[in-house]
Structure 1
């Protein structure tokens, strides 16, 4: 009976951890333009450097001439180093293990855009990018292994768009999105706590959850030009709901060790592979940008962007087996991002870009922070270079460093969802570097 009760608690805790991280894994990726990266995306909805405006404001396509293809690659290099203040299981015993090494995982983020000015005021385009994503990974025996080991979330967004120039000042645009989402989350289950009364990596069960889905949404944009040197842009991207379906696979970490207690068969029987599903809503966002060309050489820009993370109050995971639904409290908040930037045209071929940004975290407190998303407020410093190789071809480079405020984590047994995972306290020292390269061809 004791084992059966612990089994239900442990499985519920595992999938509660997975659900909360899946929400956090919806963290937006703004890196959709290399030319924009150099300005810390301070001109997002108004600058209209190239066809990547399809993502930031489709109305901007009316300012482009002819046809244009943009291919970009961003390499995101995060660092997330945890300093533990200790962890205990539900019985008060210590949970051993290291700090997990660096939880950050280097990932490439590609994007592709095509835009064509059809004449008569109409423009069309197509964007393919990854607007949400996550990658963190820790050692399998680290102190927070029951809260998460590996997290990877991938999205691919296919975004055909249309724009119309209403008059000399006003342009409008719209697009639809077909978005694929793939989630892989892993955790350890403290089987030793249920059977031997102690948290021991040798008695852990490894859980590997995979799920995917297609979701659909839309985006809108407006661009108003006061004159040839000044404009303002506004853009909106809708929520996208995903109904993820997949399965969870379980494996014993040390079958021989469990066999010495006659528990290997018991563990295998109590943790059968099973199907699962859950609804995830990725947030809406809205941006307002301004752009002004002060001189032939200098342009300044600014942007404010809101993201609707407050939609994540809780997440429910449903199982095809006998396990009850798992509910995880999120309590995330809407966040704001503020940025300013400048571009200097050194000559007809060379552009230099600078930008600063402040990006608030949607995570309200250490209580709701997880090892899968150990984020906090971020300050961006960015620079970029654009060079016109030929009449038809441009090469852009961008680099940014994100200074991230140290982030405390405080998971306690006051929240029932932590009963199976135990307490975990500590602090993260994090930072992110991003280097990007983009080729633009106009014809």
Structure 2
């Protein structure tokens, strides 16, 4: 590779990595994992849910699971993202609005709690998605120099342990083995007058670690309070940056961070039929002002300017009979960034979610549940200098199912 191509690839590397760095600046943590609590926007989940997936919301709540239990979840997410330019787009780089950039994405998990025949100890293991995003714009849209395609996936395999300290107090922990992948495509401005745009693609993967810690306190048979802490995750993506129009590649490395977060959950049974759920959360996105990126020839820090977010959820659970339950819930996440730092690879604003679900349990050996939710991601205004606009539609539709078997 000659020096000119190396310089082009290095500069493009910083550019594309800068865009992908912004993609972790808030809103990527999943608050629902396809389990029954997803039907109430996971309100109160840190105070325990009634299947094996409870260990993901709070490892300490696993002490409430009786005997052995296997829970399998699956969900489909369909985003819809439709951008609209501000007036007079001819002053910018030209191009259209990008079409509907939403990309269908599956998610889910497998959760198992073992029976130790112990009144104090419980063990379990899970494999589940933790975070992700994906989109695909038209190739010639106005924001093509920020993103045309983008996907980020983070999943965890986590052995988990819980200990009942007293009849009311339980503690727990999960050690997470994290698998992450990052893929991006975008266009680069022509290097010569009247030239054509370049095409850049980036792929990277990493395996790293994290952990969760939890505490559960049962005030009474009707009221529980739980706190769950998720550690910061630091996937270090090593992969290849390819400039497709000159058929050259260069090794890249970028260090991204998923913020540490805390969830406090409260569960209260008003009577035999109705339970109320509440969650309050905090995500430490402001801790990451810069992301370190590098290629073979150049490296540096990229400003993110993200800010802490808060998460609030309210929900209920209603038992119609011994076999049937229904749920409903609403959640709200604050805005992690302003329009000057928001980019087209992750057009997040404040988030509002509405959810509903149903569960059927014919006997003590198995049960099924299903839920649907809708998330409004705000208008996500982008101010890129030479062009600007906002999303007329920025939403996610989700449908999920779960099944549990008790032993």
TM-score by length of 1: 0.86
- Give 1:231 shift: 0.9
* Counterpart position of 2:364: 391
Secondary structure (helix, strand or coil) at the match of 2:272 reads coil
What SS is found at the alignment partner of 1:98?
coil
Distance 1:371 1:135 in 2: 11
2:263 is aligned to 287
| In the alignment, structure 1 residue 319 sits paired with structure 2 residue 320 | no
* Structure label with greater radius of gyration: 1
The whole-number CA distance in structure 2 between the counterparts of 1:64 and 1:93 is: 61
Match of 1:373 in 2: 346
Contact 2:16 2:146 in 1 (8 A): no
Task: Identify if the C-alpha distance between structure 1 residues 94 and 43 changes in structure 2 by more than 3 Å, giving closer, same or farther.
Answer: closer
Paired with 1:101 and 1:386, the residues of 2 have a C-alpha distance of 37
Listed as ranges, the gaps of 5+ residues in structure 1 are 253-267, 413-422
| Residue from 262, 265, 274 that aligns with 2:250 | 274
Distance, in Å, in 1 between the alignment partners of 2:183 and 2:88 is 25
Task: Note if contact 1:25-1:152 (Cα within 8 Å) is conserved in structure 2.
Answer: no
SS at match of 2:363: coil
- Conserved 8 A contact 2:9-2:249: no
Report the alpha carbon displacement of residue 144 of structure 1 after superposing the two structures with TM: 0.8
How many aligned residue pairs are there?
402
Q: Residue 401 of structure 2 aligns with which residue?
A: 437
**SS across alignment from 2:143:** coil
Other-structure match for 1:195: 192
Aligned pairs for 1:309-348 within 5 A: 309-320=285-296, 322=297, 324-348=298-322
- Which residue in 2 is equivalent to 1:224? 217
Deviation at 1:8, TM superposition (A): 7.4
3-state SS, counterpart of residue 368 of structure 1: coil
For residue 160 of structure 1, give the secondary structure of its aligned residue in structure 2.
Answer: strand
Deviates more, 1:59-68 or 1:31-40: 31-40
Q: Would the alpha carbon gap of residues 281 and 136 (structure 1) be closer, same or farther in structure 2, given more than 3 Å must change?
A: same
Q: Secondary structure at the match of 1:227?
A: coil
Q: Using the TM superposition, give the Cα deviation of residue 20 of structure 1 relative to its aligned residue in structure 2, in angstroms.
A: 2.6
**Alpha-carbon displacement from aligned partner over 1:139-165 (angstroms, at most 9, x marks no partner):** 111111111111011112011100011
Query: Secondary structure, in 3 states, of the residue corresponding to 1:55?
Result: helix
Following TM superposition, where does structure 1 have runs of at least 4 consecutive aligned residues deviating by more than 3 angstroms? 3-10, 16-19
Quote the offset at 1:110 in angstroms: 1.4
Is the 1:145–1:188 Cα contact (8 Å) retained in structure 2?
Answer: yes
| Structure 1 segment 40-439 matched on structure 2, within 5 A | 40-85=41-86, 94-118=92-116, 119-191=118-190, 194-196=191-193, 198=194, 203-252=196-245, 268=246, 272-320=248-296, 322=297, 324-363=298-337, 365-412=338-385, 423-429=386-392, 430-439=394-403
Distance 2:91 2:221 in 1: 69
Contact persistence 2:27–2:336 (CA under 8 A): no
Aligned Cα root-mean-square deviation (Å): 2.1
Q: Deviations over 1:74-110 (max 9, x none)?
A: 111111110012798xxx9742211110111110111
Q: Answer yes or no: is the 8 Å Cα contact 1:84–1:425 preserved in 2.
A: yes
The 8 Å contact of residues 26 and 285 in structure 2, kept in 1 or not, is answered as no
Contact 1:10 1:190 in 2 (8 A): no
Residue by residue over 1:246-273, the C-alpha shift from the partner in whole angstroms, topping out at 9 and shown as x without a partner, is 1111212xxxxxxxxxxxxxxx2xx731
- Which stretch of structure 1 is more off in the superposition, 241-250 or 157-166? 241-250
For 2:270 and 2:363, how far apart are their aligned partners in 1? 26
